[in-house]
Structure 1
């Protein structure tokens, strides 16, 4: 089975040096993680955040990834901008990040 092409292959510059990985946190002693529970620790960029996901056409996905790449921004940053624009359009206050 072949893999789908990755947008990471579109990078035209070498990736920056990454810091040494930190050890993974130990699993909980009892109970285990139930559905909807969040890990006690995680990457700082995800702490206090909630995932929003959707399914889009391959053309939309490609267009958004290319726009993000051309602007030197993350797809997440473009999505936050789009969501804030929708909130403004419907009379709500934009949230930011």
Structure 2
């Protein structure tokens, strides 16, 4: 009985992808992300579902709700809200 070929064998035959230059990487970003920095976190499944459902019911994006929540936290601690 013959064995199926391993995907590991393909690595030696596949051409190496050229490394992206930093300036090319920046150019590939959408204009809407220019001047912005990602903030991420890990939350429970329940929190994720609640936030997505709330965003859907309000007709807003999850990002917009997160910006509102972050601004509320900034106000709570005496900082100026930033906006979006």
TM-score (norm 2): 0.70
Higher relative contact order (CA closer than 8 Å, sequence separation 6+) = 1
Question: In the alignment, which of 51, 62, 83 is matched to residue 70 of structure 2?
Answer: 83
Aligned equivalent of 2:81: 94
Q: Tell me the matched-pair count.
A: 65
Query: 1:55 aligned to 25, 28, 42, which one?
Result: 42
Any gaps of 5 or more consecutive residues in structure 1?
1-26
Alignment of 1:1-97 (within 5 A): 28=20, 32-33=21-22, 39-41=25-27, 42-97=29-84
> 2:24 and 2:38 mapped to 1: Cα distance?
11
**1:21-63 CA distances to partner (integer Å, 9 max, x unpaired)?**
xxxxxx75xxx44xxx993222121111000000000000000
> CA RMSD for the aligned pairs?
2.1
Gaps of 5+ in 2: 1-18
User: 2-side partners of 1:76 and 1:87: how far apart?
Assistant: 16
| Greater percentage in helix | 2
Structure 1 segments, 4+ long, off by >6 Å, are none
Greater gyration radius: 2
- TM-score calculated relative to the size of structure 1: 0.61
